[in-house]
């Protein structure tokens, strides 16, 4: 991590004293029992003591900040993808801060809760940053001509169903709720449906003489030129690392299961998940043999 990214990451921790300071400013005016949870229409449906409310938001922010610092500290080579991930953490903490401001405003002046605005804004911001993450660090485009040794597919119908079921439930529920709530449910359902579609279609690994191309839903995610491949080996993926497209900086993983092949390149490491990793090794050997 370079000095600039270190400063921007460390600046995340300023959210903590800022929230504490805002509570200190209005502490004597807050009621002993404050409304802290609201439904999507802005009506309060949960209460806590003011001390408990402050402790909860501070501890929750500390947890988010600890995760953000740990994730960003692992970045060796800052990239657009790394900045996008850092941006997501800023959005999350910004949402928490705005949520706390909304709670204070309601309990002090009965100001309408901005739950709907906060949710929609955060979803749009995360969508934009996720798009930036996907289009960054894709590597050079491999030649479109040339023989394709193999087209391996790595999908997960089980995970696809696990995402599609709640998406369908949210769409059904959206037809029975007010317009403001409907927008949030539809946006959330679209995100789940997109992930379900990706898990169903899976990652496609195209092995060519010029290298490996990773695609999903017809979109090129990453290209690994043959000359950049240094070594590779079968290994297991830690489920705690999550599934889908993972990693920032010079590490990236494409995985729906716990098995795969880790490829070491001149730029970093790439993990290709697959139920039969021996096939991936065989295809990589074919690329190497062709190069020799």
Of 135, 169, 185, which marks where a domain is finished?
135
φ, ψ for residue 283, nearest 5 deg: -70, -40
- Residue 134 makes CB contacts below 8 A (sequence gap 6+) with 219, 221, 245
Same domain, 181 and 49: no
Residue 200 has pLDDT above 90, yes or no: yes
Same domain, 71 and 104: yes
Residue spans of alpha helices (H) in 139-178: 157-174
How many domains is the chain built from? Answer: 3
Residue 201 has pLDDT above 70, yes or no: yes
Q: What is the pTM of this model?
A: 0.70
Same domain, 8 and 108: yes
CATH number at residue 215: 2.30.29
Same domain, 148 and 265: yes
Of 102, 135, 168, which marks where a domain is finished?
135
Same domain, 115 and 93: yes
Same domain, 211 and 90: no
Of 78, 100, 135, which marks where a domain is finished?
135
- Residue 31 makes CB contacts below 8 A (sequence gap 6+) with 50, 107
Same domain, 17 and 125: yes
Chain mean position to CA 123: 12
Residue with the bigger pLDDT between 45 and 107: it is: 107
Same domain, 21 and 104: yes
Residue 291 has pLDDT above 90, yes or no: no
Same domain, 120 and 245: no
Residue-wise pLDDT for 155-176, tens only, equals 999 999 999 999 888 888 877 7
Same domain, 261 and 147: yes
Same domain, 146 and 130: no
pLDDT at site 14: 93
Residue with the bigger pLDDT between 44 and 106: it is: 106
Residue-wise pLDDT for 88-126, tens only, equals 888 888 888 888 888 898 898 887 766 667 777 777 777
Residue span of the structural domain in which 164 resides: 156-201
Same domain, 246 and 290: yes
Strands 229-236 and 244-246 turn out to be: unpaired
Residue carrying structure tokens 């200190």: 24
């Amino acid at each position: 991590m370079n000095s600039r990214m270190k400063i921007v990451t460390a600046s995340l921790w300023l959210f903590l004293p800022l929230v504490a300071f805002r509570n200190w400013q209005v502490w004597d005016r807050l009621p002993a029992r404050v409304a802290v949870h609201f439904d999507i229409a802005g009506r309060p449906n949960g209460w806590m003591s003011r001390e408990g409310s402050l402790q909860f938001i501070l501890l929750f922010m500390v947890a988010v900040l600890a995760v953000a610092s740990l994730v960003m500290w692992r970045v060796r080579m800052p990239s657009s993808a790394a900045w996008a991930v850092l941006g997501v953490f800023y959005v999350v903490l910004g949402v928490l801060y705005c949520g706390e401001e909304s709670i204070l405003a309601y309990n002090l002046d009965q100001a309408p809760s901005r739950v709907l605005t906060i949710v929609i804004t955060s979803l749009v911001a995360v969508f934009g940053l996720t798009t930036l993450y996907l289009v960054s660090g894709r590597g050079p485009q491999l030649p479109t001509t040339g023989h394709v040794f193999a087209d391996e597919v790595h999908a997960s119908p089980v995970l696809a169903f696990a995402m599609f079921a709640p998406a369908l439930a949210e769409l059904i529920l959206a037809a029975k709720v007010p317009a403001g709530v409907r927008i949030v449910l539809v946006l959330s359902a679209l995100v789940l449906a997109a992930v379900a579609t990706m898990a169903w279609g899976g990652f496609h690994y195209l092995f060519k003489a010029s290298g490996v191309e990773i695609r999903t839903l017809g979109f090129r995610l990453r290209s690994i030129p043959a000359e950049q491949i240094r070594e590779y080996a079968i290994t297991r993926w830690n489920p705690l690392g999550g599934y889908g497209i993972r990693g920032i900086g010079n590490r990236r993983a494409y995985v729906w299961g716990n098995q795969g092949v880790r490829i070491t390149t001149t730029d970093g490491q790439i993990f290709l998940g697959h139920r039969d990793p021996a096939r991936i090794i065989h295809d990589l050997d074919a690329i190497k043999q062709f190069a020799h």
